[in-house]
Structure 1
Amino acid sequence: MEDIQITGLRARAVNVPLQYPVKTAVGTVATSPLVLIDLLTNANVIGHAYVFTYTPLALKPTLQMVEELEALVKGMPLSPHDIDRAVTARFRLIGNTGIVRMATAGIDMAAWDAKAKAHRLPLVELLGGKARPLAAYDSHSMDDVELGTKRARDAVEAGFKAVKTKIGYATLDYDLKVVRALKQVTGETTQLMVDYNQGLSVPEAKRRGHALEAEGISWIEEPTLQHDYAGHASIREALKIPVQMGENWFGPDEMQKAVDSRACDFCMPDLMKIGGVTGWLKASAIAEQHSLPMSSHIFQEFSAHVLAVSPTAHLLERMDLTGPILEPVLQFKDGQAHFGNEAGAGIRWKEDAVSRFLV
């Protein structure tokens, strides 16, 4: 195959409606603000990816950062590892984190998508794996009792064997009320996990965690500030419930610090924040070295491919942030994610919908 070069880059900002707003203990994500990336090559293939900015306030800065990076990658070979090294060198002095990390990760994902398309392979096969059904969990919000039980029932009826809900209500009693209502629906055959989204102090996390120990919870996620690895380690030591974290690690180096601090029993890197597919592969090696079960955080289309080649693969998070603007290549059936033989990562824009939601 002839050498493939990057010839250009296109980025667009959209703000997409969500079926259910993502309510957390520390705020609500009411819409899905996304930067869509198209990486152009001289091989008649285009790599697609997107990044999620959490708030519309970050859309334009992230879009501009992606656009500015065109000057760095244009003319480079379609080699994600070389791109990663070039980006690392360029941003060493200011740090490859925040919006810089988000933008460069999006380009990394688009490069891997283009490379897989050029080889006419699904991304999972380009990475040396094989498409297979992946166990998934249905990821819900801070939904209170009525909506929470409805969504849990829908998930169980759809065949999911694991459901996550966000808690961190004003009182421990209300946390328990919601959890017990959901457990009535999930029963003993479906796991229930809880996510505090960094909403508690370390002492309060221990107090609430001890109360949850009798409720059959499968993991407690980010009970305190994500960067407080010592605090997470203290909570982990105090509780019988496994501690989950990782969605806010900006790069494998931060993951390594958390692991060295013994901060968690499980890990769930975010594909964007960890550094795209290239960053995920580095994180996967850390998880394997320390026997940490590894789950994904959002970006379900790309995450399915990289999780399938992760030695300690645990659960894929099902949280659809792109439904209105993406063709449904990834399918969920009987609690598992199924992705077929389409080349690349399975990202196909619905251009008419993209046009409607452009910012």
Structure 2
Amino acid sequence: MKIASIRTTPVLAPLPRAVRTASGTIDRFPLVLIDVSTDSGWVGRAYAQVYLPELLPALERAVASLADMTIGLPLAPRDVHAHLLRRCRLFGMKGLLGVALGGLDMALWDAWARARGEPLARALGAELRPLRAYHSVGLYDATAVVAIAQETLAAGFSGLKIKVGFPTFAEDLAAVRAAKRALGNSTALMIDYNQSLTLPEAMARCKALDDEGLEWIEEPVLADDLEGCARIAEALTTPLQIGENFHGPAEMRAAIAARASDLVMPDAQFIHGVTGWLEASALARTAGLPMSSHTFVEASAQLLCATPTAHWIEVLDAAGGLRHAPLNIKDGMLMPWDTPGIGLEWREDRVARHRV
């Protein structure tokens, strides 16, 4: 079975609400939908994402360019992954090219699992199981966050992650305490600074939050400041979470060597797709680090089932407005779809409406 063609479709996917962060607001998610067709008739689906609409054409072109290098190759995802790494060795696989690789790799594995008639997790030798799920939202002040917490409880999540990084620490603390009061003791609260603080300010704010009962504090400083992350992790009792910006398994390996966090949460795209995730999960297992996911809820659900140290699945449903099947969340857990591959089927009418 060989790769016959690959279609790329740039869209601005609708969201239930805008995602506000310390560095800007995402009101629609720029995605490149990827459809891999084989000469046996199987079609694998996935998507790549970029936060800025201005970069969507560049991402679409990067995916299409890598796709052109795969036409006619056997549908053997690990071999195709290795082929692309060799072809791009001089340029490297970071930034948009790494993002394109991750999205394309997910679509290839989806086609591979569909051809076997199995969900991806089962095709990888694991079984489907419920995953502890948290609701991931944007930046909300102490007043607005109460309604978000109530919505989280009503939707049946086990946890809520809010963005922080207000101009003052007092605003951060007020939002955290308001959310904790609204959630009660049975629902976890995580916070994400999205790399918005300097090291001295991060140390001060994180220490001041250390007794607030948080599940974790995420990315207080620049993602590649491994020394700074290590210093913060050493100073806190609250777990420090990083990983969504690991560009390939090598960066995760470096972070583990630097003791830069207590937890890891690779992004299925940035880590270079399913192939990169499997290597990352082996690194987490060897290091004894709980491993969560970042966005890409469809692929992440399958991959976490095959991850020995699986911890939490993040639910920020970037493609939900274009997808047929709703997520299945009950009693705090997300149940992966028991359908071949990753489980993505596009609503073509909605894709056409939101196509760029």
Same fold (TM over 0.5): yes
- Tell me the CA shift for residue 329 of structure 1: 4.9
Query: Following TM superposition, where does structure 1 have runs of at least 4 consecutive aligned residues deviating by more than 6 angstroms?
Result: none
Instruction: Provide the identity percentage.
Output: 44
SS at match of 1:183: helix
Q: Residue 266 of structure 1 aligns to which amino acid in structure 2?
A: L
**Aligned counterparts, 1:17-166, within 5 A:** 17-166=14-163
Q: Equivalent residue for 1:280? A: 277
Instruction: Quote the RMSD (CA, aligned, Å).
Output: 1.0
Superposed displacement of residue 341, structure 1: 2.2
Gaps of 5+ in 2: none
Tell me which of 10, 13, 38 is aligned to 1:16: 13
Give the secondary-structure state (helix, strand or coil) at the position aligned to 1:163: strand
Counterpart-to-counterpart distance in 2, 1:112 and 1:329: 22
The 2-side partners of 1:146 and 1:327 are apart by 34
Matched, 1:334 2:331: yes
Q: 2:223 aligns with which of 216, 223, 226?
A: 226
1:207-238 Cα distance to aligned partner (Å, 9 max, x none): 11111112111110001000000000011111
2:194 aligned residue: 197
**1:144 deviation in Å?**
1.6
Deviation of 1:24 (Å): 1.0
SS of the residue corresponding to residue 289 of structure 1 reads: helix
Deviates more, 1:120-129 or 1:153-162: 153-162
Q: Residue type matched to 1:182 in 2?
A: A
Over residues 177-225 of structure 1, what are the superposed CA-to-partner deviations in whole Å (9 max), with x where a residue is unaligned?
A: 1111101111211111110000111111111111111211111000100
Trace 1:181-196 onto structure 2 (pairs within 5 A): 181-196=178-193
CA distance in 2: counterparts of 1:270 and 1:217, whole angstroms = 22
Q: Secondary structure at the match of 2:308?
A: coil
- Aligned length, in residue pairs: 356
Map 1:303-314; keep pairs closer than 5 Å. 303-314=300-311
Of the structure 1 ranges 264-273 and 62-71, higher mean CA displacement relative to structure 2 is found in 62-71
SS in 1 for 2:143: helix
Aligned residues of 1:330 and 1:346 also touching (Cα < 8 A)? no
The answer to whether the aligner puts 1:257 opposite 2:254 as a matched pair is yes
The AA in structure 2 aligned to 1:152 is: A
In the other structure, the counterpart of 1:242 is 239
1:70 to partner: Cα distance: 2.7
Superposition deviation, residue 146 in structure 1: 3.0
Residue type matched to 2:22 in 1?
A
